[in-house]
Amino acid sequence: MSTLLFYLPFLGFFSLSSVFFERKIAAFIQRRIGPNTTGYQGIGQTTADFFKLLQKSWILPHQINGYLFYLLPYLLFILTFSAFAVLPVHSNWFGNHVWGVLYIFFVLAMEIVLIVLIGWISQNQYALLASFRTAAQMISYEIPFSLCILIVIYFAGTVDLQIISLQQSAWSSPKIYLLGLSATKITVNHIGGFLLFHVMQCPILLLVYGIFFITSLAICKRAPFDFPESESELVGGYHVEYTGWNFALLMFVEYSYLLLMSMLGVVLFWGSWYTPLPNIGPYLFAQWTSGTQGTFSAAFWGIFWLIYKTMFVVFIKMWIRWSLPRMRYDQLMLLCWKKLFPWTLLLFLGVLFWQI
Amino acid sequence: MIKNICFSLLKNLWMTIDYFFKKKKKSVPIQNEIYFQNEQRISTLQYPKKTMEVPPRGRYQLHNDIDNCIVCDKCVKICPVNCITIEAIPSPTLIGKTKDGKAKRIYPATFDIDMAKCCFCGLCTTVCPTHCLTMTSRYAYSTSNIHNHHFSFAKMKPESIQEKKKIWNDHQKKKQEEKKKQTTITIF
């Protein structure tokens, strides 16, 4: 239910606003003004673009199975959207799935199949090549990505994202020690704030999050790993043949992936819906900014912190997109297999030793 | 090596975030002295609202001041792309004088310049003896119809063209008759 009631409207709002903010961020970084004619400071630009895309004609290329051609974007969107079902919204509202992260693995694996199908059904060599490129990139990057999540699953002892979130809050039932070291015998449950996050419970997870972040950039198909599209060099990626509304759907999927990956990182590493402000002496920031569990205040603060943290990660991803140049394809594969993969395994060992 | 890579990446990111947060000043044209000072200015121009300042001797659209034109046909001959077409009607008498005192003896029935063909070499302006054909600083004249690039500078009405042609033809006939008379006189 949380998916339909909360995430669907939020996703629509997010993909419209994030395209606008991405253009604005790019403009400010490159000393431009950005869209500024539609509405105040161009705020209605993406909405106008969206309605323009709705009016565009649907061009069906020669010798194509139209049913499948028009069905696949919807399938891809439904699949991606269903991944939000396992994400928590706040401390009392969640998808309640025992599969949790495993379902996100499934979605990622299925997405590759659908992308290859889209490239294949388009009857276009370039689309086919781009879909293979995407598949190769995503399959390779899913290995360090999955390993990173596996480390967190091992650390938390569960795959349910709501329980993982609870364990990073002041309401977690097992006592949380400072930096996860039980030898210090300092519990931080009453202090709250960022000290309870997974990255603070075990600082090695900070490095794991670094790898998670890089791989999630590659899985979102964003710069510096945007080979599927290579915006400045190629005409387009696996969706060359799509026009109008179908193209809008595919772009929608890309931005929902951006949201999904940012949110997953926040839930797994950065305390999900829990406040980052700690209690300092008489100032009970953590209690003030997290509310009492089960009431409206907790719901409000939960949604606020989850979205706030996610938007911060999204901003960093946009910032990186407009700062770093695209890598070469062999460098991409080298980074994945020779650097990230062994490092994740090493970090797994590190987390194991930290727990001892 | 990893340390080097990380350091350069962070430096790059720091530079862009610096650009992001700094307040940008308004852009200035390149003629301005402060253009080359390393300041954070907006590098783009809001084109239809503001236009770039054109240098004082900008060589863009051609313009012919038809009142000063003596229809010498030099520009037509030198044009490498044949974009100027002139139809001239000579006159038996002096029409008038140009600003710099040259005698006008030919009426320009048509003086058309096809700016779609023009290659902006400026040769026609250099050969022009009266400096009536000039390049102006107007550059934004693109349209959806290519015939709008065909500029006519002649001001003559069709009736007056007919009239002047008739006058010239009559003059020619008179001359020929005179010539015949002269030849007959010399023979006899």
The mean pLDDT value of chain B amounts to 86
Q: Which A-chain residues 306-335 have CB contacts (< 8 A) with chain B? A: 319-320, 322-324
**CB contact, 8 Å: B40 with chain A?**
yes
Taking CA atoms, A145 is separated from A149, A215, A277, A323, B80, in Å, by 6, 6, 29, 23, 65
- B64-81 pLDDT, tens digit per residue, is 988 888 988 899 999 999
CB contact under 8 A, B19 and A32: no
Residue B88 phi, psi (nearest 5):
-110, 140
- Answer for the pair A92, A293: CB distance below 8 angstroms, yes or no: yes
Could you tell me the end-to-end alpha-carbon distance of chain A, in angstroms, rounded to an integer?
40
Contact B165, B89 (CB under 8 A): yes
Of the partner residues B12, B13, B24, the one whose CB lies closest to the CB of residue A31: B24
Q: How far is B35 from chain A (nearest CA, A)?
A: 15
The answer, yes or no, to whether residue A339 has pLDDT greater than 60, is: yes
Distance CA A48, CA B58 (A): 39
Query: Residues A188-235: pLDDT tens digits?
Result: 777 777 778 888 888 888 899 999 999 999 998 888 888 888 777 777
Q: Find, in chain A, the residue whose alpha carbon is nearest to that of B8.
A: A324
Looking at CA atoms only, how far is residue B11 from chain A in angstroms? 10
| Mutation target vs B (from A25, A30, A326; most B CBs, 10 A cutoff) | A30
Share of chain B above pLDDT 70, in %: 97
Residues of B in Cβ contact (< 8 Å) with A25: 20
Q: Any residues with CB less than 8 A from the CB of B50 and at least 6 apart, and which?
A: none
Residue type, A340: L
Give how far Cα B138 sits from Cα of A273, A322, B49, B59, B185, Å. 61, 37, 16, 9, 61
Nearest chain B residue to A224, by CA: B9
Q: Which of A206, A214, A112, A106 is nearest to A159 (CA)?
A: A106
A283 in reach of chain B (CB within 8 A): no
B41 Cα to chain A: minimum distance (Å): 7
Q: Are B109 and B156 in contact (CB under 8 A)?
A: yes
DSSP string, A129-185: HHHHHHHHHHHHHHHHHHHHHHHHHHHHT---HHHHHHTTSTT-SS--BGGG-GGG-
Which residue of B1, B7, B13, B16 to mutate against A (max A Cβ within 10 Å)? B16
**Between A and B, how many residue pairs show a Cβ–Cβ distance under 8 A?**
37
Which of B20, B22, B24 is the mutation pick for testing A, counting most A CBs within 10 A?
A: B20
Confidence of residue B113 (pLDDT cuts 50, 70, 90): very high
Q: At what angle do helices A296-321 and A244-269 cross, to 10 degrees?
A: 110
Q: Across the strands, what pairs with B90?
A: B106
Q: Which of A33, A320, A323 sits opposite B42 (nearest CB)?
A: A33
Does residue B63 contact residue B113 with C-beta atoms inside 8 Å? Answer: no
Residue A1's pLDDT is what? 60
User: What per-residue confidence (pLDDT) applies to A55?
Assistant: 92
CA A129, CA A333: separation in Å to the nearest integer?
Answer: 17
A104 vs A138, A298, B32, CA distance in Å?
14, 26, 57
Within an 8 Å CB–CB cutoff, is residue B143 touching chain A? no
Q: Shortest Cα distance from B18 to chain A (angstroms)?
A: 8
Q: Collect all residues of chain A within an 8 Å Cβ-Cβ radius of residue B24.
A: 28, 31
Q: What is the mean pLDDT of chain A?
A: 85
For chain A, domain boundaries: 64-355
A319 with B40: Cβ contact below 8 A: no
Q: For chain B, list the domains and their CATH numbers.
A: 1-51 (no CATH), 62-157 (3.30.70.3270)
Distance CA(A170)–CA(A291), nearest Å, equals: 11
Tell me the percentage of chain A whose pLDDT exceeds 70. 96
Are B3 and B27 a contacting pair, CB within 8 Å? no
What are the beta bridge partners of residue B108?
B88
Instruction: Count CB neighbours of A329 within 10 A.
Output: 13
Q: Please state, in angstroms and rounded to a whole number, the distance separating the CA atoms of residues A128 and A120.
A: 5
What residues of A are in contact with residue B45 (Cβ under 8 Å)? none
Can you give the pLDDT at residue A61?
Answer: 85
Query: How far does A139 lie from chain B, in Å, by closest CA?
Result: 25
Q: A 26-85 residues with CB below 8 A of B?
A: 28-33, 36
Q: Measured at the alpha carbon of residue B76, what is the angle toward residues B72 and B82, in degrees to the nearest 5?
A: 170
Q: Is B24 on the interface with A (CB under 8 A)?
A: yes
Q: What is the pLDDT of residues A42-67, one digit of tens each?
A: 888 999 999 999 999 888 888 888 88
Contacts of B133 (CB under 8 A, 6+ apart): B62, B63, B64, B65, B69, B75, B124, B125
Return the closest-CA partner of residue A205 out of A154, A263, A276, A140: A154
Give me the pLDDT at residue A289, please. 73
User: pLDDT-derived band of residue A114, with 50, 70 and 90 as boundaries?
Assistant: very high
- Tell me how far CA of residue A281 lies from CA of A191, A196, B106, in angstroms: 9, 17, 101
Q: How long a stretch of residues is chain A?
A: 356
Q: State the amino acid at position A135 in one-letter form.
A: A
Residues of A in contact with B9 (CB under 8 A): 324
| B43 interfacial to chain A (CB closer than 8 Å) | yes
